[in-house]
């Protein structure tokens, strides 16, 4: 399968109901907020993590779809696999001097790890495999409207140690948002895809990940999260036919006129429109959700 030949941008909408889409460990796991506007935030790293998790489930064990950045992974051990496969001996923090040999570990990593082909990686630790810029990048997701975090008290009936069996049960807290609709922007570069080998099959897998990743990420904090819209802009030319911001500005998300004064609690409280007249020539709009 050949690498992608078109540039893409996309608008991604997802929502959360009575949950915490991305807790901040520096703030007691409160939902992340923009302190000036109280709009909710979800980091790009959080979205990429969910894509990695989806790919690892769908493509488990399939060649070329391993995940580089995963829980408890020892990155230098991942790098050693590339040197072993290419019959090379690693030198601490250095690539091989021969240009062809220097490129071989990097190419092997791109060929075997989906997230490196997609997002790139800095692999210059003790066992050096170089670094690559990935063709797929995300912005932080931001909620369409300000959100209001709620603190909910909970109790635990069980205890950890027998000596605590007769003590009062411990109290805890959960932080949730009653509702929030989030918008993220994404970019896919055909030219950077040439460097990592990001293919048309990889692109289709990325789209499936974005539409289905929340279905396999359920937890008490994220029981009701859903992908609501994935609007893709496909450029005819690999370098692009229009600036990304022009395309993003064509997508409007606003409250419906019938309930604009009430707190939003459902996706149906919003309407999403695309200004087709502002889309430049050479760009195709694809509504994937």
Domain assignment of residue 121, yes or no: yes
Residues of the chain with pLDDT under 70: 159, 164-171, 259-260
pLDDT of residue 258: 74
| pLDDT, position 92 | 77
Q: Is residue 238 a part of any domain in this protein?
A: yes
Chain CA centroid to CA 154, Å: 30
Q: What is the pLDDT of residue 147?
A: 93
Is 3 among the domain residues? no
| Domain interval for residue 16 | 8-287
Q: Phi/psi zone of residue 38: left (φ > 0), alpha (ψ -120 to 50 degrees), beta?
A: left
What CA–CA distance (Å, rounded) separates 117 from 136? 9
Question: Does 1 map to a domain?
Answer: no
Is pTM beyond 0.95? Reply is no
Which helix (H) or strand (E) covers residue 41, if one does?
strand 39-42
Residue 106 covered by a domain: yes
User: How many domains does the chain fold into?
Assistant: 1
Residue 137 forms part of a structural domain: yes
Q: Judge whether 151 lies within some domain.
A: yes
Would residue 255 count as lying in a domain? Answer: yes
Note the pLDDT of residue 226.
94
Task: Note the pLDDT of residue 166.
Answer: 67
Report the phi/psi class of residue 74: left, alpha or beta, with left for phi > 0 and alpha for psi in -120 to 50: beta
Element (H, E) at 154: strand 150-156
């Amino acid at each position: 399968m050949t690498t992608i030949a078109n540039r893409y941008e996309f608008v991604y909408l997802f929502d959360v109901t009575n949950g915490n889409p991305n807790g901040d460990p520096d703030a007691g796991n409160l939902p992340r907020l923009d302190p000036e506007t109280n709009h909710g935030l979800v980091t790009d790293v959080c979205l990429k993590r969910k894509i990695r998790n989806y790919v690892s489930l769908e493509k488990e064990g399939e060649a070329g779809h391993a995940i580089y950045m995963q829980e408890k992974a020892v990155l230098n051990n991942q790098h050693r696999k590339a040197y072993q496969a290419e019959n090379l001996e690693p030198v601490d923090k250095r690539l091989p001097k021969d240009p062809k040999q220097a490129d071989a570990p990097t190419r092997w990593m791109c060929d075997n790890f989906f997230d490196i082909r997609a997002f790139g990686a800095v692999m210059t630790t003790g066992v050096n495999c170089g670094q690559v810029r990935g063709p797929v990048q995300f912005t932080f997701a931001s909620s369409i409207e300000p959100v209001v975090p709620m603190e909910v008290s909970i109790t635990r009936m069980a205890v950890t140690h027998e000596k605590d069996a007769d003590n009062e049960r411990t109290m805890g807290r959960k932080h949730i948002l009653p509702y929030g609709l989030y918008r993220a922007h994404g970019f896919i570069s055909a030219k950077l895809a040439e460097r990592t080998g990001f293919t048309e099959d990889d692109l289709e897998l990325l789209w499936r990940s974005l539409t289905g990743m929340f279905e396999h990420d359920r937890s008490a904090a994220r029981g009701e999260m859903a992908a609501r819209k994935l609007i893709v802009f496909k450029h005819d030319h690999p370098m692009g036919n229009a600036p990304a911001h022009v395309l993003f500005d064509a997508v409007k998300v606003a409250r419906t006129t019938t309930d604009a004064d009430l707190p939003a609690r459902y996706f149906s409280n919003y309407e999403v429109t695309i200004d087709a007249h502002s889309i430049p020539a050479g760009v195709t709009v694809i509504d994937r959700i």
